[in-house]
Structure 1
Amino acid sequence: MIDVLVVDDDFMVARINRGFVERIDGFRVVGTAHTGREAIEAVASLSPDLVLLDLYLPDIFGLDVVTRLRAAGHDCDFLVISATRETDSVRAAARQGAVNYLLKPFDFKDLQVRLERYAAERAELGNLVVSGQADIDRILHRGASPGAPPLPKGMSAETAELVKRALIAADAPMSAAECASVVGISRVSTRRYLEYFGAAGLARVTLKYGTGRPERLFQWIS
């Protein structure tokens, strides 16, 4: 079980994010915080594995919270959740070791695919024995062989390849239903692979507006 601390200055947003996390198998929320000081105190008392961290807190900038936590010897991971799109903020988060950076507003699927990816990488690295440079590169999330992150539990490389080929062959962005008809698996399963590619930065996600809820479309990035 991966323990999560949710940090957001907006009480309603924090409640929604907590609900999202609690719907994902293998994760549990151990606490919430609404200021930087509360976040630091909560990490010290609750020892979470992962912090969902808003950047713009009322007292301390989110990345400064990370700096203080590291100085105090806490090694929890953090995933940035923020509305800011400034390149400098994204780069700063990467330098601080953020496991991901999720833009507000987002829906449950956006967070789910990133947390499942995080859980898969955490499990893989937990069992990893360093035998060479390739293993070190995997630990540092760098290396000469860029590509998709490890598949979450329950997803197969063979099916991922089929979905990838369908996206590459498509002349236009595809919905989950359209891709499912090409690949020959259920729409729900197809959507998991599409969201995985989107979170990995391998597929571009756009919204098609009409009547009712916007439809998510996916296009492979060449």
Structure 2
Amino acid sequence: MVASIHTRFVDRIDGFRVVGQAATGEAALAEVARLDPDLVLLDVHLPDLSGIDVLRRLRADGHDVGVVMVTAAREADTVRAAAAAGAAQYLVKPFEFDDLAQRLAAYRQAELALRRLDTPDQEGIDAVFAPRARVRQPLPKGLSAETARLVEDALRAADGDLSAAEAAERVGLSRVSARRYLEHFVDRGSATVRLRYGSAGRPERRYAPV
């Protein structure tokens, strides 16, 4: 049941799709060898091996697949062991869709930066090691979860980026209200903002999903 929920979550995130599932540690190792995925969502509590043992065996076999721990285990020793074995992210269950989406976006950002490396300078190296999922922030006072979902859906459905005025028109809000939601998405790490300069006046803020 949990794997089914997580599958639906992943399938909603741009740039990711589920290629396989495994219910035991041994099955996970076999599926990684068979499917050669880019990323594994790995629990600690498995019927045969621990997820930490699975991760260590993957690394011992020379497999550099990305691993995001998705687990209820929150013991300090377990978290340290996951980090030492090379887990990219660690997400404690239960969690909401946005929590997973932010971490997968951070992983994807780091992987894209890694693929662009040739002879990198420090900035290029930092782009690989620096991305981290931000802690999900509660909505500021005056913003509603329902409207936030509408603005976020409009942002993700856009062909490219959106201004606050364009988002407001699509959702039926004032420009000021739409901008508050968009800036909140930037603060929590689920959107980016850039300035577009015109011939005159202040630059326009353009927003895009992460």
TM-score (ref. length: structure 2): 0.65
How far apart, CA to CA, are the structure 2 residues paired with 1:96 and 1:188? 38
Q: 1:193 aligned to 172, 179, 186, which one?
A: 186
Q: Which amino acid aligns with 2:182?
A: S
- 1:40 counterpart = 2:33: no
Question: SS of the residue aligned with 1:102?
Answer: strand
**Deviations 1:71-109, CA, capped at 9 Å, x for gaps:** 222210100011122111111111111111001000111
Q: In structure 2, do the counterparts of structure 1 residues 190 and 136 end up closer, same or farther at CA, with 3 Å as the change threshold?
A: closer
How far apart, CA to CA, are the structure 1 residues paired with 2:87 and 2:126? 16
Is the CA contact (8 Å cut-off) linking 2:59 and 2:85 kept in structure 1?
Answer: no
Percentage of identical aligned residues: 47
Q: In structure 2, do the counterparts of structure 1 residues 191 and 32 end up closer, same or farther at CA, with 3 Å as the change threshold?
A: farther
Instruction: Name 1:100's counterpart in structure 2.
Output: 89
1:191, distance to aligned residue in structure 2 (A): 4.5
Instruction: Name 2:2's counterpart in structure 1.
Output: 13
Instruction: Name 2:50's counterpart in structure 1.
Output: 61
Name whichever structure is richer in strand by fraction.
1
Gapped regions of structure 1 (runs ≥ 5):
1-11, 143-148, 152-166, 198-222
Instruction: Name 2:73's counterpart in structure 1.
Output: 84
1:116, distance to aligned residue in structure 2 (A): 1.2
The count of residues paired between Structure 1 and Structure 2 equals 159
TM-score (ref. length: structure 1): 0.62
How far apart, CA to CA, are the structure 1 residues paired with 2:38 and 2:31? 12
- 1:177 counterpart = 2:143: yes
Gapped regions of structure 2 (runs ≥ 5):
149-173, 191-210
| RMSD across aligned positions (CA) | 3.0
1:130, distance to aligned residue in structure 2 (A): 3.0
Q: In structure 2, do the counterparts of structure 1 residues 87 and 43 end up closer, same or farther at CA, with 3 Å as the change threshold?
A: same
